């Protein structure tokens, strides 16, 4: 099912994989990560932030599989076992962010193609983001629970202050020197961005489905 921004699709399978692919570049790269969120739209602690330096969640439900290159594109993957999620988790934000190897924006990697698959590789939903401007990180899709059922929603919410700024908005404690301390930097230099969104009561633009 191809989703437009704001649309959702049911997830009837517990074991899912979120793939994200983008154009390969010799100087610019990006990473996929996941934030496990409670009903207030925040993580409970840094252990709810799954990325390349912390590849699995504390409850063992969510894993960062890692990247692979193929021809002209790069793909990164996050796997989720919804049955293993702690009961407090209501939502998982799947985030795409730039490495900080060179000044760039997400527009420099071209469109991002996101697809959600079940355990046997059948596609459950897909979403393409091709309207990047000056964003350096974005929530691509979110997996969320409503009325005891799991769904995926196409979000495409960009941030201008990189992974660090996005993660702070969701309650993650971020070291300002994260780029210097990791061999695979994850966030562009912090610049002034838009005001943070209150994810405990997020705005629902026209056309969005609950």
Report the relative pairing of strands 137-146 and 149-159 from DSSP bridges. antiparallel
Q: How many domains does the chain have?
A: 1
The CATH number of the domain holding residue 119 is: 2.60.60.30
Does residue 207 sit within a domain? no
In a domain, 202, yes or no: no
Q: What is the pLDDT of residue 176?
A: 56
What confidence score (pLDDT) does residue 156 get? 95
User: Considering the domain boundaries, does residue 109 fall inside one?
Assistant: yes
**What is the SS3 assignment for 65?**
strand
pLDDT at res. 187: 37
- The reported pLDDT for the residue numbered 28 is 85
Nearest CA to 138 among 203, 200, 188?
Answer: 188
DSSP string covering 95-160, please? Answer: EEEE-SSSS--GGGG--EEEEEEETTS-EEEEEEE----S-SEEEEEEEEEETTEEEEEEEEEEES
Per-residue pLDDT of the chain (210 residues; tens, 9 = 90+): 899 999 999 999 999 999 999 998 888 889 999 999 999 999 999 999 999 999 999 999 999 998 998 788 999 999 999 999 999 999 999 999 997 656 899 999 889 999 999 999 999 999 999 999 999 999 999 999 999 899 999 999 999 988 988 999 999 987 654 443 333 433 333 334 444 445 445 544 445 566
On whether residue 171 sits in a domain, the answer given is yes
Domain that holds residue 31: 2-181
Asked if 99 contacts 31 with a C-beta cutoff of 8 angstroms, the reply is yes
The reported pLDDT for the residue numbered 185 is 39
Residue 199 pLDDT: 46
> Each residue of 41-54: pLDDT tens digit?
999 999 999 999 99
pLDDT of res. 190 = 36
As a whole number of angstroms, the distance between CA 67 and CA 109 comes to 15
193 belongs to a structural domain: no
| Position 190 in a domain | no
> Is position 205 within any domain?
no
208 within some domain = no
């Amino acid at each position: 099912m191809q989703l437009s921004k704001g649309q959702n699709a049911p997830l009837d399978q517990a074991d899912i994989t979120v793939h994200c692919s983008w154009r390969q570049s010799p100087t610019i790269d990006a990473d996929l990560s996941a934030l496990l969120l409670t009903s207030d739209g925040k993580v409970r602690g840094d252990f709810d932030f799954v990325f390349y330096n912390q590849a699995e969640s504390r409850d063992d439900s969510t894993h960062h599989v890692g990247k692979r290159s193929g021809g002209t594109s790069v793909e990164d993957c996050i796997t989720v076992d919804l049955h293993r999620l702690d009961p407090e988790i209501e939502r998982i934000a799947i985030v795409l962010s730039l490495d900080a190897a060179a000044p760039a924006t997400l527009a420099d990697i071209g469109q991002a193609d996101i697809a959600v698959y079940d355990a046997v590789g059948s596609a459950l939903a897909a979403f393409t983001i091709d309207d990047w401007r000056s964003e350096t990180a974005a929530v691509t899709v979110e997996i969320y629970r409503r009325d005891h059922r799991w769904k995926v929603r196409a979000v495409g919410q960009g941030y201008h202050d990189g992974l660090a700024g996005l993660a702070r908005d969701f309650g993650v404690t971020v070291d300002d020197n994260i780029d210097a301390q990791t061999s695979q930097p994850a966030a562009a230099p912090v610049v002034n961005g838009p005001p943070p969104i209150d994810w405990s009561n997020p705005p629902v633009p026209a056309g969005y489905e609950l």
